[in-house]
Structure 1
């Protein structure tokens, strides 16, 4: 295979992973909206839906690891599980619960616009946990993103304060979870693949969600006889959610996190177009203008992160070259010394 063919093959594989991730992410979002929205399937029980997803992922991950033996579980001590996995599981359950709840009150397009605040939350929480250094340039960029989202919110035709609070809470919980993964797991050399991640985290989420479910949704489901559900509908929904976790791992593992961010922007625009053209959500010009401002801010942030990563890699190469040169000089000096000793003898 020639060099050009190899490059072409890599490009095709990368675009395949991107396409799969976009399609699955798109499907899960629209699927959840369809189930929860009162104008569609009208099953407004976000905690129950999240619990179904977590139960499905728990069982399937257990089957893959213990019965099919396709994946090896990580070395997990009780101390790491209590101090690391459980806090991450709690944050993940809250993030999923609130983000799914937001679909009842907000349009798909507006939810995607609010999600543009994720870099702002990750950066702010990173500073609080001392994982990020404060920079005036980066903070100015974060302010620009926030301003764009505020403009989009101002132009939202069906604005719901409660829905916005739910979605922003979900973003904050998810950002905190991402920072804690770096602090509690990655710093200890523990890296989960999507199967092991679901194997350890999904049961935690399920356990935490049982508490609000029993208090908030179970009485309503029991009294309205809505406890039964269509197995095919919810089974396919859960399978899509599980497949999305695998797609995220493949996309980041085979390409990069930056590729996923760029693909996320494409997905957001597709969802906005779908929300406006098919679901008939009202997307205003002010909405779009605000999101464009936020989108440019996120794009600049990703560009700056990429440049910083390239500079870091370049520094590593320079240091590596310097080390090799130093070792070579030491070897040459050693050879000269040994030869001189032989001549003196």
Structure 2
């Protein structure tokens, strides 16, 4: 059967739209990372206050999400199940706490480490997610997966060994950020997904951002507020921090578009492209030193991550095929039962 010209055009348009959404996500993610680096780095904008920057982001996202949901009513809050007080404190609060720590530490790392090296360290995310998933019984322990995780870890270790501007404190901050983010992702599966709660980026920000804001106020009050009052005037750069916060909010919407219009696998592949672009940009524009050992180590880690994503994709395909097979079996059983009932009714009518 030959596909018509209309079908070919429709498929082509869908592919173009998918690539367009992916390009938007890559551009926004790229921009947020570089923008945060520019603001926090003492050699650039020189605002080395990661908690304050995260507070600005959370305040902006909370206000805009509230406006879109409560005033404009563009997005509806989940109704089945509804977000009760018990569900909020048992699920959203711990997720918000972990998210605040992840943002705080990841932004802090930009003060001490290069953009390229931070992207290399982020390759450890599958290792952290898998390890924590095994502890929480969300992942099954497998020796081949463990070997893959060790391969990724060794690759990152080689990249760290070749880092020209290695800073142990910065590495500790980024590794802590990875651990907190991985725990948050696992808890989302346990606390929200298992309870049937579905949140898009706007509703997620509506619930999680105020929680992050409250958690960050405590360390901000004791760590950064005294420094800010002594060093900086009360003049607030609305252009820089406003556009930076808008980019961060837009990035959350882009994540929703990419996952909704394409797939999680597409996003993972796009993430790899983004990482390589950031490494190239860090080396060519920011003039960060990227060594051959750096690239060799990250190459090993990249292959491990790619294989891990491939295995996960095959597992999802197998589950989908099994599910479709079960549905087909049920349909065939239903059709057979209907046929038997029809035959029985026909016999009864003939005998009567």
> Is the shorter-chain TM-score for this pair beyond 0.5, marking a shared fold?
yes
Bigger mean CA deviation after superposition, 312-321 or 56-65? 312-321
Instruction: Indicate yes or no: 2:28 matched with 1:24.
Output: yes
* 1:170 corresponds to: 177
Choose the corresponding residue for 1:241, options 223, 243, 248: 248
C-alpha distance in structure 2 between counterparts of 1:211 and 1:198, whole Å: 20
C-alpha distance in structure 1 between counterparts of 2:289 and 2:12, whole Å: 41
* 2:77 corresponds to: 73
C-alpha distance in structure 1 between counterparts of 2:232 and 2:167, whole Å: 29
Choose the corresponding residue for 1:129, options 132, 136, 140: 136
* 1:108 corresponds to: 115
* 2:237 corresponds to: 230
TM norm structure 2: 0.96
TM norm structure 1: 0.98
CA 1:226–1:107: 2 relative to 1, 3 Å: farther
Q: Which runs of 5+ in 1 are unaligned?
A: none
C-alpha distance in structure 1 between counterparts of 2:329 and 2:99, whole Å: 44
C-alpha distance in structure 1 between counterparts of 2:132 and 2:98, whole Å: 14
Choose the corresponding residue for 1:160, options 157, 167, 172: 167
C-alpha distance in structure 1 between counterparts of 2:97 and 2:234, whole Å: 25
Q: Which runs of 5+ in 2 are unaligned?
A: none
C-alpha deviation, 1:333, in angstroms: 1.3
C-alpha deviation, 1:8, in angstroms: 0.3
C-alpha distance in structure 1 between counterparts of 2:232 and 2:318, whole Å: 60
Q: Deviations over 1:195-221 (max 9, x none)?
A: 110011000000000000001000011
C-alpha deviation, 1:72, in angstroms: 1.4
C-alpha deviation, 1:124, in angstroms: 0.7
Question: What secondary structure, in the 3-state scheme, does the structure 1 residue paired with 2:290 have?
Answer: coil
Choose the corresponding residue for 1:87, options 66, 76, 94: 94
* 1:13 corresponds to: 17
* 2:49 corresponds to: 45
Bigger mean CA deviation after superposition, 166-175 or 311-320? 311-320
